[in-house]
Amino acid sequence: MATNAVIQPRARKSKSRKVRFGDVTVTAPAPSTALVQHNIRLSTQALERVAKRLAKPGVTLRAKKDVPLYSLDSDNPDVMIRKLNGKIERGAIVNGVFQAVD
């Protein structure tokens, strides 16, 4: 999957960056433009590799105990199908929680 997109980093206003994780703020030096461009190239290459693999038919997802597998109904993409511990239910995700419909 080749892409013609060109990604340009935003112009830097300061020499340091702040990143907040909940109540913690981390301040670090801003990366160089060369490092940003290098990481863009690496991530683009990784995305191309994964896109090739995902495009191939025959991906198998193995069910594990207590781990649900979700898919969309091929006849109605508004309906989700959940397979959990051998039980198949149809429903939807509402406020981040699967809710089965009768």
- Domain ranges across the chain: 16-55, 69-100
Q: Is 48 left (phi over 0), alpha (psi -120 to 50) or beta?
A: alpha
Question: What's the whole-model pTM score?
Answer: 0.41
Which amino acid is located at 75 in the chain?
A: D
Which 3 state secondary structure label does DSSP give 61? coil
Residue 54: is its pLDDT beyond 90? no
The pLDDT assigned to 98 comes to 93
